[in-house]
Structure 1
Amino acid sequence: MNTTAASRPPDRVRVWDPLVRVFHWSLVSCVVLNSWVVEEGETIHQWLGYAAAALVGLRLIWALIGSRHARFTDWFPTPRRVHDHVTALLHGEVPTHTGHNPLGALMMLTLMALVLGLGLTGWLQGTDAFWGVDWVQELHEGLAAMLVWLAALHAAAALVMGRIERTRLIKAMVTGVKERY
């Protein structure tokens, strides 16, 4: 999968549409606010959690009907895609992907699953059946901690992969245009 000058992707390509970018930064905002700013149990904490879950639901729908690089068909991390990507990296090759690479896609799905799990466990804590049930609260707190750690890993990986691929990945999530340097 080494790229030659002839097969090298273009220096600038429009990748992420406005919905993908607004989703990404809105979800980041919800997570940051709920993790470090808002007190647990406050009404705003609950609403930010529901907003995050709704954002994930919207993104999953957009993965079915959205623009080319937003769709599952472009980036879904099949076992073959993951294997080929990891094998190339282990051989010192730099596989190129216009949209998300397979490991980034796995992380994205994991983070979205955690947000949905947090939404569910947060909601359950407010129901009569699970009010004050320790394991639900502990699961919610564990999922939150895992989300924060994996989000930090995700951000670090974006920086590292950007250097490896010689692309401006963070800037692309703001502008929608992936640039090589």
Structure 2
Amino acid sequence: MHARASSDVQVWDPFVRIAHWTVAVGFFVAYLTEDAKIVHVWAGYIVGALVFARIVWGFVGPRHARFSDFITGPVAATHYLWDLVRARAKRYVGHSPAGGAMVIALLAFLAATVVTGLVRYAEEDAAGPLAPLYAQTSSIGGAQTVEDDENQVGERGGRSAFSESHEVIASITLGLIVFHVLGVILASFVHHENLARAMVTGRKRPD
């Protein structure tokens, strides 16, 4: 056991690990606290800041944190998933092709969730960093009022397209997270390693 641990190599740097778990916690806090506005908003700010930092880190971080290390395209990702369900997928020290694709998808949808949330916050509460811009234009990105007799929001009497898309995108993001967790469990079983623990310690076996 000790010899095995000493032979492991450092794969995930501290920032990747901290950002990974903090974003996960922040997303679920925000998802579950829609009615607790301050908590919801600040959780969103934290997620947004970390997503932005992770994107930058994808260009300047260490080897396995860089996009160039794990972006392989949809064909490679699909082939990896097909091999994974047949328990014959190749093992990767860093992100697998499917894992890399999931990283990109999650970053994109998390960013979209944050941006639409900021627009919604500006629109409904006249608050947040986009509030001045929203006040000047009265409509960001072509936001249009959507009639909704069952969902009244404040004094506006309806939710904009951005408000609706915020909830939809957040739900899609949740679905991606569930799929990600299932993929990690399956890959851990197929490759005989605990991938969740590796994202805590940062270490994996070299081959």
TM-score by length of 1: 0.83
Secondary structure at the aligned position of 2:109 is classed as helix
Q: Check if 1:42 corresponds to 2:17.
A: no
Q: CA deviation at 1:92?
A: 5.2
Task: Work out whether residues 13 and 62 of structure 2, in 8 Å CA contact, stay in contact via their aligned partners in 1.
Answer: yes
Q: CA deviation at 1:137?
A: 1.2
Task: Work out whether residues 114 and 147 of structure 1, in 8 Å CA contact, stay in contact via their aligned partners in 2.
Answer: yes
Of the three residues 172, 181, 197, the one matched with 1:155 is 181
Compared CA separation, residues 46 and 178, structure 1 to 2 (3 A): same
Task: Work out whether residues 51 and 110 of structure 2, in 8 Å CA contact, stay in contact via their aligned partners in 1.
Answer: yes
User: Aligned equivalents of 1:91 and 1:151: distance in 2?
Assistant: 22
Q: Check if 1:18 corresponds to 2:44.
A: no
> Bigger relative contact order, structure 1 or 2, given CA contacts below 8 A and separation 6+?
1
Which residue of 1 is the match for residue 54 of structure 2?
59
Task: Work out whether residues 172 and 179 of structure 1, in 8 Å CA contact, stay in contact via their aligned partners in 2.
Answer: no
Which residue of 1 is the match for residue 64 of structure 2?
69
Aligned residues: 170
Structure whose alpha-carbon radius of gyration is higher: 2
Aligned pairs (5 A) from 1:1-181: 12-36=8-32, 38-40=33-35, 42-79=37-74, 81-82=76-77, 84-86=79-81, 88-89=83-84, 93-125=88-120, 126=122, 127-128=134-135, 129-130=138-139, 133-179=159-205
Unaligned runs of 5+ in 1: 1-10
1:90-137 CA distance string (max 9 Å, x none): 775220111111111111111111111111111111134357643211
Unaligned runs of 5+ in 2: 1-6, 123-133, 140-155
TM-score by length of 2: 0.73
User: Aligned equivalents of 2:30 and 2:82: distance in 1?
Assistant: 37
User: Aligned equivalents of 2:83 and 2:180: distance in 1?
Assistant: 20
Secondary structure at the aligned position of 1:106 is classed as helix
Secondary structure at the aligned position of 1:123 is classed as helix
4+ residue segments displaced more than 3 Å: 86-92, 130-133
